[in-house]
Every structure is written in C-alpha cells, then in structure tokens.
Amino acid sequence: MNHEEVKVRRGPRSGLALIVAVHSRALGPAAGGIRLRRYPDWRDGLADALRLSEAMTLKNAAAGLDFGGGKSVIALEPGTSLTPELREAALLDLGEMIDSFGGSYFGGPDVGTGPDDMVVVRRATSRVFCLPAEHGGTGSSSVPTAAGVFAAVRAGARHVFGTADLVGRTVVVSGLGSVGGLVARHVSEAGARVLVSDVDPAKRTGEFEWVEPAKALRTPADILVPAAVGGVLPAELVPELSVPLIVGPANNQLTEDSVAGGLAARGIVWVPDFVASAGGAVYVLLREVEGLSHTAAMSRVESIGDTVSAVLTAARDNGTTPLTEALARASARLTP
C-alpha cells in the first residue's frame, strides 16, 4: 500500500463494511466518489478502494485540479439484501467516517450512488459534493463525466481516423450505467452506429442494438467504450480485440499497467481511463469548490479533448504508450 490513510470500519448502524481510502493529498484535500457495490468479501471492497483512490490521484493531477485522490466503498457482502433502511444507515455511517477526516477527504457519487444519496451523507458531514440543485449542489456528476468522455472519444477519433466525425462509425459501449447510457446517446446523436451491452439484461430496452456482455469487448468496431467497472482489459484479451480505438469512463480498465504496451504493440490506441473519465471531478470541484460558472466549468470539461490529443501525440512522437505520457503529466504535478 502506498496510501496516506485508510480507514476500515463496520458501520455501527448498518453493520456493513465501510472503507475510506485516501491515496494522496499532495496537491490538496483528497476527493473521490462513494461506491456502493456487492463484493464476494469485504476485503475485495478494500482492494477496490485502494486501486480507485490511487486512480483518483492520477485523475485529479492529470486534469490540473488542486485535489488529491480518495475513494469510499460501501461493501455489500453475499447474503445481505439492500433495503432502503440499510442504505440510509450505511450512508450515515459512511458520512460519519468522512467527517472524521476533518476536511482532508471529500466524497461524492460513484457507481451505485447518486445525488439523493448525498443528501443522506450530508446529514453526517458537510464534506460531500453533488447534492441535487435544490439542496445547493451541482447534481449528478454523470452528465459532465459523459461530456468529458464524448470529448475524449472525438479527440481519439481525430487521432486514429483523421477526423472527429463519428457519422457511420461503429461504437460499442460496454456498460449502461449512468455514464455509459449518456455516452451511448451522445455518440448515437453524433451519427454513430451504437452497440450496447450490460450485465443487467433489464438494460436491453431496444433504444440501441444489443450485444451480449461476454462478446462486447471482442466485437469488431471502430471504437470501444468501456463504461462498466474496472479490470476489463487483461493481457489475454489483447490478441482478441478487433478495434483500433479504446476510450471510456470505467476506472482502472487495465488489469496491470503492462497491458498498455500490449495494446500499443497491436496498434490499438488506448486513451488512459483517468484522463477520459475526469469530467465529473473537473466539473464538481471547479463548481463547488472554486466557484466557477457552469459554462466555465464545462469548457474545462471539454478541454479533456485537448489533453487526450496531447497525450496521444506525445506517445506517437516519443514511441511510448499513452499511459506513459499520461502518467508523466500527472507525476510532473505530483513530484515537481
């Protein structure tokens, strides 16, 4: 572990395993969402929090934000069913834990939580972002996250295909959560043919063509958008991929950093996840902490496209991988 501070606690109200991981506060207070997910064991939730908080350090640093990286996990273990009462109890328990950081960690929504949940967390701590507008927050971070991903998709397309125009391109969106669903709509409105998949068959609404989750990543396409949970790109999968561009919001897509080299060797352009997914963090931190207007914050979200172009160009010019270049950008700020 190379984290600054990690707290693990069984919630006194909920009885659930709660983890708050602060990876780095080198650039400022840590910020990162609250993930509520089922895990085979609470230790898997701890491992997830450790990886995700480290990714937040890179995300915030590469996006030029003066915030460090952190993440919270509420781990649902097998056999526990999440009633509304249990959810509320867990959010209050977690809010109390967040408060104990005294302002050196701020939470917000992530996979499994949304703005309404933040209203509950707010009862226990003021250190929480993305409350609904009527409660004084900026609401769902999925909207700016998806806008940033769309900017990253266009920049990636310009790099790989010579044009950001998506008309007639085939795009696979793997994972139809709150961000994936919005990205699917953006690329579809831009004229792409969109194929979607999700582990939840209820997401098959007929709005988009459906591909089975097991096949989604191997489906021949122009662009693959990983938009579910992490670890979807292991080394074994690289030879089976049939897509020249991978860019999406899922955090920690590669099972290990070396996969970036395997992708590059096959001529597949992979946009680092912590660059493509920064829109939510950029928007919420600039709006709720720095006090920027909606328009100013959205233009910073759009600038993710410029960062993607810079990273991809540097990788091509230097004969490195996009991951190496994005990590260099982040560490230039983290270790000046």
CA distance 117 to 132: 10
Which residues have a Cβ under 8 Å from the Cβ of 12 and sit 6 or more positions away?
93
Helix (H) or strand (E) holding 37: strand 34-38
Report in angstroms how near the CB of residue 288 gets to ligand PHE at its nearest. 9
Which residues touch 290 (CB under 8 Å, ≥6 apart)?
none
> Residue numbers of the site for ligand PHE (CB under 6 A)?
31-33, 108-110, 129, 141, 251, 277, 280-281, 284
* CB of 251 or CB of 324, closer to ligand PHE: 251
Q: For 73, list phi and psi in degrees, rounded to 5.
A: -130, 130
71 counts as catalytic: yes
Q: Which two tokens stand for residue 37?
A: 């997910």
Nearest residue (CB) to ligand PHE, 32 versus 181: 32
Least distance between ligand PHE and beta carbon 193 (Å): 28
Pairing of strands 5-10, 193-197: unpaired
The catalytically annotated residue of 7, 71, 203, 215 is 71
* CB of 11 or CB of 109, closer to ligand PHE: 109
Compute the least distance from the CB of residue 275 to ligand PHE, in Å. 12
Q: How far is Cα 313 from Cα 296, in angstroms, rounded to an integer?
A: 26
Q: Which is nearer to ligand PHE, 281 or 323 (CB)?
A: 281
- The whole-angstrom separation of Cα 170 and Cα 193 is 5
**Nearest CB to ligand PHE, comparing residues 184 and 286:** 286
Quote the least distance from Cβ 295 to ligand PHE, whole Å.
20
Query: From residue 11, how far is each of 8, 44, 102, 129, 192 by CA, in Å?
Result: 9, 17, 19, 21, 46
Instruction: Tell me whether residue 128 or residue 264 sits nearer to ligand PHE (CB atom).
Output: 128
Q: What is the DSSP letter of 125?
A: -
Residue-level length of the chain: 336
Is residue 154 a contact partner of residue 162, using CB atoms and an 8 Å limit? no
Q: Which is nearer to ligand PHE, 142 or 309 (CB)?
A: 142
Smallest distance, Å, CB 199 to ligand PHE?
20
Residue 53, amino acid: S
Q: For residue 162, give the 3-state DSSP assignment.
A: coil
Neighbours of 147 (CB within 10 A): 21
**109 touches 254 (CB < 8 A):** no
CB of 151 to ligand PHE, least distance (A): 15
The minimum distance between CB 32 and ligand PHE, in angstroms, equals: 5
Instruction: Give DSSP secondary structure letters for 187-246.
Output: HHHTT-EEEEE-SSGGG--SSSEE--HHHHTTS--SEEEE-SSS--B-GGGGGG---SEE
> In this structure, which amino acid lies at residue 334?
L
Catalytic positions are: 71
